[in-house]
Chains A and B, each alone.
Chain A
Amino acid sequence: MQDRHSQNEQTAENLPLRGIKVVEAAQGVAGPFCGRFLAALGAKVIKVERPPEGDWSRKIGPFLPGNVRSECSALYLYNNMGKESVLLDWETESGMSALETLVSSADILIEDWDRAYREEIGLTTDRFTSLNSELIEICATPFGLTGPYSRWKSTPIVQLALGGYLYLTGNSSEEPLMLPGHQPDYLTGLNAHNAVQIALWERARSGRGQFLEMSMMENLGVLHQFTFEMETYSGVVRNRNGLQWNKVGPFASYGITTLPCDDGYVAFGASTEDQWERLCAMLGREDLLDDPEFDTRLKRSQKSDTLDSLITDWMKGKTRQEVFLESSEKWFLPVAPVLNLNEVLRDPQFVQRNLFQPLSHPEAGEALYPTFPFAMSEIKPTVARAPLLGEHTSDVLGGLA
Chain B
Amino acid sequence: MLIAGIALLILLAFGFPIAIVLGISSVIYMLATDSLNLMTSAPQRMFNGVETYGLLAIPLFMLVGELMNQGGVSNRIIKSLSLLMGHLKGGLAYANVVANVFLASILGSANAQSAIMNRVMVPEMEKEGYKREFSAALTASSSLMGPIIPPSMIFILYGVLAGVSINGLFLAGIIPGLLFALAFVGMIYALSFKYNFKKTDRASAAVIAKYLLQVIPSLSIPVIIIWGILTGVFTPTESAAIGCLIAFILGMFVYKELKWSDLSKVFINTAVNTSIITFIIVNASLFSWVMAMERIPHLIMDFIMSIATSPLMFLVLVNILFLVIGMFMDEMAAIIILVPILMPIVSAYGIDPIHFGVIIAINATIGLITPPVGYVLFTTSSIAEVKYERLVRAIIPFVAISLLILLIITYVPAVTTWIPQLFG
Chain A partners chain B: no
